[in-house]
Chains A and B, each alone.
Chain A
């Protein structure tokens, strides 16, 4: 993150650094952070609140390991969607309950014709395929081809290191 970012001042940045590994597991986590940073728990909470409002923080919560929860099939569904219709359709697919992430990304022709990515988690591949069919129906003739890329192994998973 750049030092000139007008959205964030020094204290915001210190709070981000102090919480990169997560929130302290202590009854008063914001006071623990405040002690490290020589400010008050009220200031820490106010900054977190304002970063939530501005979207710098998406949410405060737990990230489950989907394998451990029984979601063994993790399918990255990718779709070749007409450029003129992708925004409208992307919004609709993003609203499907089964889709956790939905993005438009660049194609790499001829190797990679897909420009819409929708992540679908299921307990098994049948469940993922069922959910992919819902997406296929929604896209209709605006979609020319699609694939489901299943993950076979987590090679690495850590939180994002921002600083």
Chain B
């Protein structure tokens, strides 16, 4: 990663323009060419420095169900359960964390009812209970990291 890559990452975390040539406009602000920007972006995505580029949708406002779910899995059974959880398309992120509750994942479903079905399936297939922690209130969401 060089200076231009960092500038692209910092610049593109929000506010991508809605115009005919948005990449060209951003490129102008960054002082590079449109083609440079597109090539860099593609590489940052391929190298997994960026996990995504595009509109970030607000799942609940789309009528879907979104929740944070925790599980307490014995270490010797962890990989099996991670396999079950990760195989579900409804699971967007899944992290191992240092705690008795050692698996934490985000579950996004098309409907709120779908969430209950997905949770029941995880409990049935894994054999462990889930701790469902849907948000009660959102105080702030804005992931901005300086590259």
Task: Report which A residues bind B (CB closer than 8 A).
Answer: 1-2, 5, 7-8, 16, 19, 21-23, 25-31, 41, 45, 48-49, 51, 54-66, 68-69, 71, 74, 76, 86-87, 90-91, 93-95, 99-106, 108, 111-112, 115, 117, 121, 147, 149-163
User: Is the CB–CB distance between B50 and A160 below 8 Å?
Assistant: no
Task: Report which B residues bind A (CB closer than 8 A).
Answer: 8-9, 12-16, 18-24, 34, 38, 41-42, 44-45, 47-59, 61-64, 66, 68, 70, 82, 85-86, 89-101, 103-106, 108, 110-111, 131, 133-147
Residue of B nearest to A163 (CB): B110
User: Is the CB–CB distance between B92 and A159 below 8 Å?
Assistant: yes
User: Is the CB–CB distance between A45 and B18 below 8 Å?
Assistant: yes
Q: Is the interface of B mostly helix, strand, loop or mixed?
A: mixed
Q: How many A-B residue pairs have CB under 8 A?
A: 244
A74 cross-chain contacts in B, Cβ below 8 A: 95
User: Is the CB–CB distance between A58 and B108 below 8 Å?
Assistant: no
Interchain Cβ contacts under 8 Å between A and B, 19 examples: A2-B111, A5-B63, A23-B16, A29-B22, A30-B18, A30-B22, A31-B20, A90-B137, A100-B140, A105-B136, A112-B131, A115-B136, A149-B101, A153-B96, A154-B93, A155-B85, A155-B86, A159-B52, A160-B57
Residue of A nearest to B103 (CB): A155
User: Is the CB–CB distance between B20 and A64 below 8 Å?
Assistant: no
B147 cross-chain contacts in A, Cβ below 8 A: 64, 69
Shortest B2–chain A CB gap in Å is 14
Shortest B103–chain A CB gap in Å is 7
B82 cross-chain contacts in A, Cβ below 8 A: 155
